[in-house]
Amino acid sequence: MLIHRKWIAFAAVTLLLTACTDQNTATSDEKEPAEEQAVSKEEQETEEVKKEEAAKEEAEAEEKPEEVAAADPQYRINSANWSAQPITDASEKVVLVTIDDAPDKHAMEMAETLKSQNVPAIFFVNGHFLDTDEEKQQLKKIHEMGFAIGNHTNSHPNLRDLTEEQQTDEILQLNETIEQIIGEKPKFFRAPHGANTDFSKQLVQDQGMVLMNWTYGYDWEQQYQNAQSLTNIMINTEFLNNGANLLMHDREWTSEALPDIIQGLKDKGYGFVDPEAIEGI
Ligand SMILES: [Zn+2]
């Protein structure tokens, strides 16, 4: 995460510099700040005007960091179909990659595949995959590689079968576990089986997490539990549309199919949503 944070800081500085440059360019017909000062002396501008300019500059300087922060979100999860919709002029032709039931046996390999293809993703994790030090290290590594971590409940129950207290435990315990490992709470939540309750939806919102189900996924169906069939359906399904939220799992056949799935999506002209660019609550 350190690396990632550094990158964000670098990007923020770059944006800031770009913003400054743009501003300079936009006002280049007028005067550069140094020149302005010199000329203003010659012209003997009143103190009042100078003060006004100084106040304006100060206000602009204060605005800039906020502009950088506010410029980050580019997509919003549409709760009608769970797709990622641009809220800026960001590309519409994108998909969101999500990997559930992690980190089990294949999450690291899947993270490496995605990283090598420069594809961001959300890993939705479960508490029962975070019992051992090795599993915790895997989560930490996946996070440090730049992937977003989502809450998929502590023990993968159907929330509709649980009391409100049990639902609370399932969600909050895992938030704590994740925070202990990666140093921050997860931004995203996905219910096992996509089975949300009114109570869990409210709880997730109160926790400031973005809730999502998915648009399509196939790797749990018997006929797609091999790399070839899975690759074929993932890139040729009629449900592949702009903003589609793709559900895959930490499974052997999915891990094996992942390079070809990503390549197939790229060949069809799709880009990939960066979870960091998804609007928060
Ligand atoms: Zn699951």
In tens, the pLDDT along 174-185 reads 999 999 999 999
Q: 277 C-alpha vs ligand 1 centroid, how far in Å?
A: 24
Indicate the pLDDT class of residue 71, thresholds 50, 70 and 90.
Answer: low
Residues with CB under 5 A from ligand 1 (ion): 100-101, 192
Q: 193 C-alpha vs ligand 1 centroid, how far in Å?
A: 6
Q: 153 C-alpha vs ligand 1 centroid, how far in Å?
A: 9
List Cβ neighbours of 184 (8 Å cut-off, separation of 6 or more).
Answer: 1, 178
| 12 vs 68: CA distance, rounded Å | 6
Which of 10-14, 70-74, 160-164, 231-235 is predicted least confidently? 10-14
Beta bridge partners of 107: none
Which of 47-51, 126-130, 151-155, 164-168 is predicted least confidently? 47-51
Per-residue pLDDT, averaged over 190-216, amounts to 98
Q: 51 C-alpha vs ligand 1 centroid, how far in Å?
A: 60
Using alpha carbons only, give the angle 192, 195, 199 rounded to the nearest 5 degrees. 110
Q: 107 C-alpha vs ligand 1 centroid, how far in Å?
A: 13
List Cβ neighbours of 127 (8 Å cut-off, separation of 6 or more).
Answer: 153, 154, 155, 173, 174, 177
Q: 62 C-alpha vs ligand 1 centroid, how far in Å?
A: 44
Given a cut of 80, whether residue 10 has pLDDT beyond it is no
Per-residue pLDDT, averaged over 138-162, amounts to 98
Residues in the chain: 281
Q: Which of the two residues, 280 and 6, has the higher pLDDT score? A: 280
Nearest in space to 101 (alpha carbons), one of 250, 244, 280, 243: 250
Q: 7 C-alpha vs ligand 1 centroid, how far in Å?
A: 31
pLDDT value for 72: 81
Indicate the pLDDT class of residue 50, thresholds 50, 70 and 90.
Answer: low
Residue 62, Cβ density class (10 Å: 0-12 exposed, 13-18 middle, ≥19 buried): exposed
Note the pLDDT tens digit of each residue in 258-276: 999 999 999 999 999 999 9
Nearest in space to 68 (alpha carbons), one of 6, 9, 22, 23: 9
pLDDT value for 222: 98
Q: 190 C-alpha vs ligand 1 centroid, how far in Å?
A: 8
Given a cut of 50, whether residue 159 has pLDDT beyond it is yes
Q: 156 C-alpha vs ligand 1 centroid, how far in Å?
A: 6
Q: 226 C-alpha vs ligand 1 centroid, how far in Å?
A: 19
Q: 130 C-alpha vs ligand 1 centroid, how far in Å?
A: 14
Q: 100 C-alpha vs ligand 1 centroid, how far in Å?
A: 5
Strands 245-249 and 94-102: parallel
